[in-house]
Structure 1
Amino acid sequence: MAELGMNLFFSGKIGASSDNTFDFGHEMRVFFERQQQRMGFDDEFLADHFAICSRSAALRLMKLFHQGKSLKPVFVKRIQELLCISDREFAEFEKSFKVRALTSRNMFFAKLRLFLKHADEIASTPAYANVVFHTLKGPKVPFRRSRPLTLGELLSCYVSEQLIFTNLSGHRSYVYAIDGGIGRRALHAFDSRTGAFFRTLDPKIHRRMMWIYENFEPSFAYTPSVWTIPRLIDVLETKGAQEEH
């Protein structure tokens, strides 16, 4: 998956996606830019006070930030300080984002059978296929732009029996995230029997899943979608009810 991505919460590619697609980077940028507008600080003012690098370097960093490029945490922290966003305010923003992202994840797996039933329809409808799933993204690989993990890509893995394994309890489980550093990456999965979410470092499972992870190739061209998991559930359930009558 170009990096099938998968650092929980914070790895979404910063870019021009909808506020409805749980992309932490994008929403953080919007949060900062709104504060910048409220404070009346232009980039030149921020660069004059950046302090931890030259003014010209700070201007380049601000340009990259507005373009949706990833910055080192130290630079993001400095922008936060210059915009007078307290650690408490930023923590509340993060918490709000996590709650919404986790709600989306939970709703998806609660309706997993519905999504799998309509996997072909979702794959053939770009607006559906490009819904960003739980702010995950594909792996970073040399010379390839990372991208969000979309609903279409995730379902294509499940339909082809990838990212699925039998856990230690003998239950069919679906991987939806991988996080941690190299050599310590943990799999996050959903147990379809119990409905529980769990984390595993089991080496036998890990090796196979990581091979799939590192060798994933996107099946769909990605364009931001304004659709959401809850909205898509409503459409699919309505369609199913109509087909029954």
Structure 2
Amino acid sequence: MNKKYELQKKEYLDNYEDVLRENEEYFKGKDENTVKGLKELLKQALDVALDVRKFEIEMYWKRATYFWVFISVTYAAYFSILSDENLSKMPILAVIVSFVGIVFSLAWYLVNRGSKYWQNNWEHHVDMLENMNIGPLYKLTIDNNNKPLQLLKAFPLSVSRINITVSLYITLTWFFLAYFSINLYLKRSPDFSEHTYLIIGLVTTLFFIALLVFNMESTNKVDESNLKRRD
């Protein structure tokens, strides 16, 4: 059997042994009925925390789907209005739709942040409660030492943070489209120069870098092994 696997297995079991010793210290000196009652309460609390965490994740993706549908429809409506025929009839429609896009995108960005907060909240509850029930199962994750630029290998990116980054970027694009639409409505040429397009390219590049670099799961090492502890 692979020596590295054996080493990781030993470190994994050592973590469980440490937790069991901590539990023994916690329950030491308490009578049997008290210990039994506490363990039952802790088990119920862990079950509730796991259920609510699962619910929050399910709702997170349902909300994301909801906003994606509305934002996609808004994009389609906006670029349909930009056709020569529609724009000449009612240029104010482009302004209105761009404002709708801002509202939906900004709401999506804020909902993403709120969802991330409540998901983290219940994950912290699970982290604290699982030691007394099943040991550090949930909080221990593998560390395969892959690098961010190893593009074909697994890496602990945070899916929810990526969504937050994308929603913020889309919000900024709607502000740009709103500025463009207002200028069209006022029948004046938008003040775009080479510097404007350079700024747009720079912002897009920065968001691309953020997607790769700043969306890693924040983790703390349990020890010097290949196991990680989530925030």
- For the criterion TM > 0.5, the same-fold answer is no
What's the TM-score, normalizing by structure 2?
Answer: 0.26
What's the TM-score, normalizing by structure 1?
Answer: 0.25
1 or 2 for the larger relative contact order (CA 8 Å, sep ≥6)? 1
Q: Pick the structure with more helix per residue.
A: 2
Q: Pick the structure with more strand per residue.
A: 1
Higher alpha-carbon Rg: 2
